[in-house]
Structures are given as C-alpha cells and as structure tokens.
Amino acid sequence: MKKVGVAILGLGVVGGGVYEILTKKREFLIATQGVDISVESVLEVREDRIRELGVPAGKVAANIAEAVCNPDVSAIVECIGGVDAAREYVLDALHAGKTVITGNKELIAKYWSELERTAKTHNAGLYFEASCVGGVPIIRTLNDGVQANEISCIMGIINGTTNFILSEMTEKGVSYEDALAHAKSLGFAESDPSADVEGYDAAYKLSILSSLAFHTKVPLAKVFREGIATVTAEDILDGKALGYRLKLLAIGKREGNTVEVRVHPAFVKENHPLAAVDGSFNAVYLRGDAVGEMMLYGRGAGSLPTASAIVSDIVFAATHGEHRYATFKNTASPDRDIKFTADFSGAYYLRLTVSDEQGVLAKLAAILGKYGISIAELRQTSAGGGASKLFLVTHGTHETAIRSAVSKLHATDFAKVESVLRVC
C-alpha cells in the first residue's frame, strides 16, 4: 500500500479542514483509495489552534525547514495564504523534491511558471485544484474529463462573496452597502473585502482556468477586471423587470488564436443555468466542440469543501506514477501567436436620465446609431422635475462602440448616463 506523509503549513480555516479530513478519514481513504495518508508535521504558531485540533506535540514543526526536511514527509500542503511567505515556503519544498498541494489562487496566478519550472527541475508535483471554485472539481474536469474537446468558452460565478451580495440585493432589494454588511456579519466577506468585491479573486481564478481550458498561458495582466461596488439596487430591480439577474461573471473565450478574458458584473437571462446560482454557491459553465454545454455547481469556499479538493490532490499525486504539469508552454509571458482582445462583443444595459421633452428618443437613437448600436429593449418611467428615466438593452455591439457612444452622451445637455452593464 502506498504511504504518504503530509506536512500542513497553516492550520487556519482550510488547513484545519485538511487536518480534520486526513485524521478522521484515514481508514476510509485506505479502504477506498488504497493510500495511507498520515499527517507527519504541521507548521502553526497559534498554540490554541494546535490544542483545538488535537495535534500531538511531536508533530508540530518549529520552522519551515523542519517541516520540509522531515524524512517522513513527501507532500507539503500550503495553507498559509498570502503571497510572499507562501512563495518562499513552496519553493523551499519544491527544491527539496517534495510535492506541493495548495489552494492559493493568487500565488498560482502570479508565480505559476516559476513554481512549475522548479517542480519539474526537482521531479516534484505541483497541484492546486483547491485554488479555483473550492470543492467543485473544475481543474480535474479540465485536465481529465474533457481532453477530447477544444473549449471555446468558460464562464462562471467563481466568487461566493460577491454572489451572496448580489443575491441579497436581488431577493431583498437592499443596497450594496447593506448587503455587504450582512455578508461580513455572516463571515462571507472579510473586514477588507476589496479582493472579492473589486474582482481580484475572480481574476486570479480566471487566469488559471482559462489557461487550462485553452491550453495556452493567460497571464493575470491580460484579465479585464471590474468589481460590483458601483452596482445599485435600481440596476438590479430594473434588470429583474426585463427578465435578467445580475452576477459577477468570469468569462473566457477563445476563437482561433484570439482570446478574451474578463471579470465584471453582467446580466444573464433568467432561463440561463447561471441565473439560478444564488447565495455563496459557485458554478462554472463550459462549452466544448464535442461535449457541448455543461455546468459544474457547488460550494466555492469554506473549510471542508476546499479541504476536500486539497485531499483529492494528495490522493491523485499518490496514485499516479508521473506528475501532471501544464499542457502548454508555461512561461511568464503568453505565446506570441495568441492575440488578446479587450474589444468584447455582446449586448449592454444602459440606465439614463433624460430630459422629458419631444425628440429626445430620436436624438438618443441617432447617437447610438452613429456607432452601429441598436436598441433591443426599452423602458421609460418619469423621474419628476421635467426628466425621465430610460432603461435600455442594446442588440449585440462592441466594447469600443458602447464606450464611444456613452462618452458622446455624457457631452450632451439632454442625457446623463447613470449606469452601463454588460449582458451575457
């Protein structure tokens, strides 16, 4: 039977979950997977946390060198988070020939090429299923489930905090500020939520997932990013009236050698599978040329769901004779043949305040028409004081066209653009 000794770096939410699964389910994994996984070392400075989890004193490492150099340890589980110390510790482990398992999406998004190069040099494994969408096996699906496919689209709700906030705003009609406060009170949002609400977390994950889906390096710098902080209850309620639900979407598309990758709030039709993904749940939608459309759904974060993904990587590494690396040239820069575009195409939602006078709609249509933009849906309500509110959805157009039209409208004396959101 294969025996695997593990060192866990950090016993926080995720690291504690890994320790719990590996200690409580050791016999289950022996019986079902034929692998005996034992926790041989932990690195944690909080003595109360060590006592809470019941870690034997002899298993507590004094420093990273002690954990990495332990002869009984063959796999290192990085759960300390952040980038600087995590990168240093992971490189130390890889240089020692130890397989590394991590859920650190920022670390992988920023330093994947360096870490993989080091892993290859020292015949070590580097696995990161838990870095994207928590317990949902999206990376395993891309690597082992859809190899026959050329993936043209990967689109998903891959940040639970923002999905919870937008769900609260949709179902309860509350403001962004109130929904964020509720998310914090329940532990779904950090005291500083900027990584989530500004879209950074989703951008890290999209860089990783689109690289795997399209078999080409998609650097983090190529991911367009907008957050949800400017979304209003008015936008969401009007979207509902038009048959849409607002989500923070991560979208990757490839056509030939052209790739687009973007994270931003967007309306989706109520009958789209992603529209029903609410609360802190995540989902990823794929389109392959052979398999067609498919969607994976589940908990995108949390102690045990994320720990589940980490344990699956430990088992995978232990039961496969050769380590798995990227299917593409994994360098810091993208392949020269790949073109990244920021001129996305699709429909757009606009909310405007306009003068309540004859001919305004004609003038609005003329400006939009100048840039090849036509209106698919339109709703008008009185705003009082000689003004009206217009809510419209365009037919398909391009990002450059909508930006030019909005800039032109801002310069007029009859219209003020209050909100612009994309429609998928």
Given 205, 222, 247, 253, the catalytic residue: 205
CA–CA separation, 335 vs 169, rounded Å? 41
Torsion of CA 164, 166, 171, 172, to 10 degrees: 90
Q: 363 catalytic, yes or no?
A: no
Phi, psi of 278 (to 5 degrees): -120, 175
Question: HSE of 291 in the Cβ direction (CA atoms, 13 Å)?
Answer: 18
CA–CA separation, 299 vs 306, rounded Å? 8
Extended strands (E) in 168-279: 224-225, 244-255, 258-269
- Nearest Cα residue to 422 out of 397, 388, 404, 405: 397
Residues 6+ away with beta carbon under 8 Å from 180: 165, 189, 193, 197
Phi, psi of 3 (to 5 degrees): -110, 135
Residues 6+ away with beta carbon under 8 Å from 297: 136, 277, 281, 282, 283
CA–CA separation, 420 vs 373, rounded Å? 14
The token pair at 162 is: 């923002």
DSSP alpha helices (H): ranges in 122-156? 138-144
Which residues are designated catalytic?
Answer: 205
